[in-house]
Chains A and B, each alone.
Chain A
Amino acid sequence: AAGVIQSPRHLIKEKRETATLKCYPIPRHDTVYWYQQGPGQDPQFLISFYEKMQSDKGSIPDRFSAQQFSDYHSELNMSSLELGDSALYFCASKEGSLSYNEQFFGPGTRLTVL
């Protein structure tokens, strides 16, 4: 079965650079979530999209932005990167924003900021 695809899997950037993470949800899933997991921490919700519109916002810094495109894939854009942005970034998708279906997670993108 198709799973959530995230690219790249690993990314190394310098401070103050920008990064773009991509997420391709499971086919027919219209809702996408972004999470950040720091070392030894639980995943923290950043932002979500339903039908190409932002549906909820969590602890996402102003330096980050995201969008969902017409094919339902999503991109997380991160600017002015800081050392503290080094983390695992997970994307999850599910069908329906209002339903209690479980979220399916991608393998994550490991971002390292030097």
Chain B
Amino acid sequence: DQQVKQNSPSLSVQEGRISILNCDYTNSMFDYFLWYKKYPAEGPTFLISISSIKDKNEDGRFTVFLNKSAKHLSLHIVPSQPGDSAVYFCAASTIIQGAQKLVFGQGTRLTINP
């Protein structure tokens, strides 16, 4: 039962254009969402997060949008740069019995073409 889904395993975008990565979740208990970026042979690196009380959070070139009614979030990267090429994981979080549970999506491999 995949509670967090990233339906696009890969995405290819031209340098300078906008990259949009999508994520859907099924569990309405999730109330905090995060995006991680992962390079080969490295651990996931935190990018940006959003609480369920917000619908948008922006940090430089990265913006995360949350649509609670649709249980959907997206990460926008603009402008895209070659160094953004990596695997992006969406993660959803809730606190149950005193512990934060983090559930990851399957990841989307983003390739930025020069």
Interface set of A (CB-CB < 8 Å, partner B): 4, 6, 31, 33, 41-45, 48, 50, 55-56, 90, 92, 94, 97-100, 102-108
User: Interface segment, B34-42, B59-67, B73-81?
Assistant: B34-42
**CB atoms of A50 and B43 under 8 A apart:** no
Q: A100-B32, A100-B93, A102-B49 are in contact. Are A43 and B100 (CB under 8 A)?
A: no
Identify 11 residue pairs between A and B in the complex whose beta-carbon atoms are under 8 Å apart, listed by A's number. A6-B43, A42-B4, A43-B89, A44-B104, A45-B102, A48-B99, A56-B96, A100-B49, A104-B46, A107-B43, A108-B43
How far is it, in angstroms, between the C-alpha of A55 and the C-alpha of B96 when the chains are bound?
Answer: 10
Min C-beta distance of B89 to chain A, whole Å: 6
Interface pairs A-B: 4 shortest CB-CB: A105-B43, A56-B99, A42-B104, A55-B99
Min C-beta distance of A4 to chain B, whole Å: 7
Q: Which residue of the partner chain A has the closest CB to B42?
A: A107
Interface set of B (CB-CB < 8 Å, partner A): 4, 32, 34, 36, 41-46, 49, 51, 89, 93, 95-107
**CB atoms of B45 and A105 under 8 A apart:** yes
Min C-beta distance of A9 to chain B, whole Å: 9
Cβ 8 A contact of A55, one of B4, B44, B98, B106: B98
